[in-house]
A = this chain, B = another copy of it.
Amino acid sequence: MKTKILLKESEMPTHWYNVMADMPTPPTPPLGPDGQPVGPEALSAIFPDELIKQEMSTERWIPIPEEVRDILRLWRPSPLYRAHRLEQALKTPAKIYYKNEAVSPAGSHKPNTAVAQAYYNKEAGIKRLTTETGAGQWGCSLALAGQMFGLEVRVFMVGISYDQKPYRRSMMKTWGADVFSSPTDMTNSGRSILEKDPDSPGSLGIAISEAVEEAAGREDTNYALGSVLNHVLLHQTIIGEEAKKQLEIVGDYPDVVFAPCGGGSNFGGIAFPFFADKASGKNVRLVAVEPTSCPTLTKGVYAYDFGDAIGLTPLLKMYTLGHDFVPPGIHAGGLRYHGDSALVSQLHYEGLLDAMAVPQLETFEAGVLFARTEGIVPAPESTHAVAAAIREAKLCAETGEPKTLLFNLSGHGHFDMSSYDRYFAGELEDYDYPEDAIRQSLENLPKLKFDLE
Binding site for B on A (CB under 8 A): 1-4, 6, 8-9, 70, 73-75, 85, 103-105, 107, 144, 147-148, 166-167, 170-171, 173-176, 368, 371-372, 374-377, 414-415, 417-418, 420-421, 424
A420–B170 Cα distance when bound, in Å, is 7
Residue pair A173, B73 in contact (C-beta under 8 Å): no
Residue pair A173, B424 in contact (C-beta under 8 Å): yes
Contacts of A173 in B (CB 8 A): 420-421, 424
Point out the residue from B6, B170, B176 that lies within 8 Å of A418, measured CB to CB.
B170
Tell me how far the C-beta of A110 lies from the nearest C-beta in chain B, rounded to whole angstroms: 13
Residue pair B4, A174 in contact (C-beta under 8 Å): no
A176–B89 Cα distance when bound, in Å, is 15
Given A4-B9, A74-B3, A415-B414, the answer on whether A166 and B421 have CB atoms closer than 8 Å is: yes
Point out the residue from B1, B105, B375 that lies within 8 Å of A376, measured CB to CB.
B105
Residue pair A167, B418 in contact (C-beta under 8 Å): yes
Closest B residue, CB atoms, query A364: B174
Tell me how far the C-beta of A373 lies from the nearest C-beta in chain B, rounded to whole angstroms: 8
A138–B173 Cα distance when bound, in Å, is 28
Contacts of A176 in B (CB 8 A): 372
Residue pair A105, B375 in contact (C-beta under 8 Å): yes
Residue pair B377, A174 in contact (C-beta under 8 Å): yes
Contacts of A414 in B (CB 8 A): 107, 167, 414-415
Contacts of A166 in B (CB 8 A): 417-418, 421
Contacts of A415 in B (CB 8 A): 414
A147–B370 Cα distance when bound, in Å, is 12
Tell me how far the C-beta of A150 lies from the nearest C-beta in chain B, rounded to whole angstroms: 10
Tell me how far the C-beta of A111 lies from the nearest C-beta in chain B, rounded to whole angstroms: 8
Residue pair A2, B9 in contact (C-beta under 8 Å): yes
Residue pair A420, B174 in contact (C-beta under 8 Å): yes
- What are 13 of the A-B contact pairs (CB < 8 Å)? A2-B9, A4-B9, A4-B73, A74-B375, A85-B148, A105-B374, A105-B376, A144-B375, A166-B421, A167-B418, A171-B417, A174-B372, A174-B377
Residue pair A1, B171 in contact (C-beta under 8 Å): no
Query: Contacts A6-B8, A170-B417 given; 18 further ones with Cβ under 8 A?
Result: A1-B70, A2-B9, A3-B73, A74-B374, A74-B375, A75-B375, A104-B375, A105-B371, A105-B376, A166-B421, A170-B418, A170-B420, A174-B368, A174-B371, A174-B372, A174-B420, A175-B371, A414-B414
Contacts of A377 in B (CB 8 A): 105, 171, 174
A174–B413 Cα distance when bound, in Å, is 11
Closest B residue, CB atoms, query A423: B174
Closest B residue, CB atoms, query A106: B375
Closest B residue, CB atoms, query A73: B3
Residue pair B372, A175 in contact (C-beta under 8 Å): yes
A374–B73 Cα distance when bound, in Å, is 11
A376–B148 Cα distance when bound, in Å, is 12
Closest B residue, CB atoms, query A71: B375
